[in-house]
Amino acid sequence: MIQKKLPFTKGQVKEIIKFHPTPFYIYDEKEIRETAKRLNMAFSWNSQFKNYFAVKACPNNHILKILHEEGMGADCSSQPELIMADRVGIKGDQIMFTSNNTPAHEYKKARELGAIINLDDISHIPFLEKHAGIPDTICFRYNPGKLRGGNSIIGKPEEAKYGFTKKQLFEGYEIMKKKGVAKFGLHAMIASNERNPQYFVDTAQMLFDLIVEISKKVKIRFHFVNLGGGIGIPYKLDQKPVDLEYIGKGVHKAYIQTIVANDLQPLKIFMENGRMLTGPNGWLISTVLHKKSTHKKYVGLDACMANLMRPALYGAYHHITILGKENLPRRYKYDVTGSLCENNDKFAIDRMLPKIDIGDIVAIHDAGAHGYAMGFNYNGKLKSAELLLKEDGTIEQIRRAETVEDYFATLDFSKLEQDHSR
């Protein structure tokens, strides 16, 4: 029977639960580091390759620190993410600020930190100038529209709100050249959870061709290209990990044929993957609270969609292991639910699983990216703790669980309570 890997046994998890009640997230430091090394290795031909980890995928300072130690920068989309990266020690141009519909104070913060600013729209040039000033490095996000197919999470590029059109890119670089910008970058992020390695090679080729065209016409020199994030992961048992070596080699070939052939080297290759680094290396651990048998058979967990909303949001598949029952036949069909007053609060629908008992511990796989990060407080649900399984096998709590006091922290009860006591 094919299984998904787990870096811990049921016995170890029971020990952890004595100190950290479920639900909680747990991340595997060793595998996060290994995955980062594999990505860096695939691009080692480009001496200044850097993946700017997409902070939105797993916004935890401890995880960022680990990735930074593996040579990664931070791709930030908001002021709090910028501040987190800075506080972890990721400084200056090791931060890329890729936002859209951006408020002025966020541009100010990005400029203050010396982050590379990746503009989403040509109208943001005067906006940036007015509120934060023009930096000496600038990057533009390209949206190829109908020239490229999209994929299911981001959608068709021509319907996506992000980025400049091709025509706007030429205009934008021209404007920025006149304003004295010295270093230029080009970026695209048009796929998410993409498992076809050729897609990334094609994106690189598209951007390299554009760089050749723009360099010649606008007469500027590109310092870097950012191929975006979006490398997918195998959520399902029959899916394979993306072949990183294929991507690295394919991009290298395109680089030689297009960038080197036009004498535009050196060009730094950047990416901003999130999911592929932490996704497969994080689990949501939960306990079965109730079983219910009506028109269907339900298993109710102590986690809910407020802890992991991907299944409800995208119908995403997350594999489920019932700890200690890994080798039992999956003969029972269940909906695995949370406790929100929403009928789409389900981690799995009609999932074949071993017979489940109240008190069983459940591991929801591939939850380490866009998992905790998308959490919310609907129905007064509190966010869980995050734990790190360290390389030496010990457990560190890297974020405590929210408390009721946290939930009330932004409310002021003082006046109401005074009135009440009269």
Ligand X SMILES: Cc1ncc(COP(=O)(O)O)c(C=O)c1O
* Terminal CA-CA length for the chain: 67
Please identify, among the stretches 271-279, 341-349, 357-365, 373-381, the one whose residues bind ligand X according to the rule CB under 6 A. Answer: 271-279
Give whole-number Cα distances, 250 to 89, 128, 202, in Å: 33, 36, 9
57 in contact with ligand X (CB under 6 A): yes
Task: Report in angstroms how near the CB of residue 57 gets to ligand X at its nearest.
Answer: 4
Q: Does 193 bind ligand X (CB under 6 A)?
A: yes
Continuous segment of H or E residues that includes residue 174: helix 166-178
Contact 169, 217 (CB under 8 A): no
126 vs 132: CA distance, rounded Å = 10
Q: Is 75 in the site for ligand X (CB under 6 A)?
A: yes
How wide is the angle at C-alpha 373 spanned by C-alphas 154 and 285, nearest 5°?
Answer: 115
Q: Does 362 bind ligand X (CB under 6 A)?
A: no
DSSP one-letter code for 257 = I
Using CB under 6 A, which of the segments 166-174, 244-252, 266-274, 281-289 binds ligand X?
A: 266-274
Residue placing its CB nearer to ligand X in the complex, 187 or 351: 187
Region from 84-92, 189-197, 207-215, 408-416 binding ligand X, contact rule CB under 6 A: 189-197
Q: Closer to ligand X by CB, 132 or 373: give it.
A: 373
CA distance 311 to 298: 16
Q: DSSP character for 262?
A: T
Contact 345, 305 (CB under 8 A): yes
Query: Taking contact as CB under 6 A, which single stretch among the options 25-33, 42-50, 54-62, 82-90 is the one that binds ligand X?
Result: 54-62
Q: Which is nearer to ligand X, 32 or 353 (CB)?
A: 32
Number of residues engaging ligand X in binding (CB under 6 A)? 17
Interhelix angle 29-42/244-254, nearest 10 degrees: 30
Residue 371 makes contact with ligand X by CB under 6 A: no
Looking at beta carbons only, is 192 or 281 nearer to ligand X? Answer: 192
Contact predicate 307/375, CB 8 Å: yes
Q: How far is CA 208 from CA 193, 257, 264, 366, in A?
A: 22, 10, 10, 33
Q: What are phi and psi of 287, to 5 degrees?
A: -115, 145
Indicate the residue among 54 and 64 with the shorter CB distance to ligand X: 54
Interaction of residue 230 with ligand X, rule CB under 6 A? yes
CA–CA gap between residue 244 and residue 197 (Å, rounded) = 7
**Under rule CB under 6 A, residue 274 binds ligand X:** yes
Q: Do residues 301 and 288 touch, judged by C-beta distance below 8 A?
A: yes
What is the C-alpha radius of gyration for the chain, rounded to an integer number of angstroms?
23
Q: Does residue 275 belong to the site contacting ligand X (CB under 6 A)?
A: yes
In contact, 282 and 28? CB cutoff 8 Å: yes
**What are the backbone dihedrals phi and psi of residue 144, each rounded to the nearest 5 degrees, phi first?**
-75, -5
Among 369, 385, 388, 398, binds ligand X (CB under 6 A): 369
If the CB atoms of residues 90 and 323 are measured against ligand X, the closer one turns out to be 90
Residue 273 makes contact with ligand X by CB under 6 A = yes
Rule CB under 6 A: is residue 229 a binding residue for ligand X?
A: yes
Choices 20-28, 128-136, 226-234, 253-261 (CB under 6 A): range interacting with ligand X: 226-234
Interacting span for ligand X (CB under 6 A) from 60-68, 222-230, 239-247, 307-315: 222-230
Q: Which residue number, 230 or 354, has a Cβ lying nearer to ligand X? A: 230
User: Cβ 293 to ligand X, closest distance in Å?
Assistant: 38
Is the separation of the CB atoms in 7 and 384 below 8 Å? no
Q: How many helices (H) and strands (E) does the chain have?
A: 13, 17
Phi, psi for residue 100 in degrees, rounded to 5: -145, 155
Show the tokens assigned to 361. 């511990």
Range 86-145, binding ligand X (CB under 6 A): 98
Should residue 192 be labelled a site residue for ligand X when binding is judged by CB under 6 A? yes
Tell me if 54 contacts ligand X by CB under 6 A: yes
Q: Compare residues 46 and 193 and give the one whose CB is closer to ligand X.
A: 193
Q: Residue 157 or residue 338: which is nearer to ligand X going by CB? A: 157
> Which residue, 272 or 360, is less far from ligand X as judged by CB?
272
Question: Which residues of the chain form contacts with ligand X (CB under 6 A)?
Answer: 54, 56-57, 75, 98, 189, 192-193, 228-231, 272-275, 369
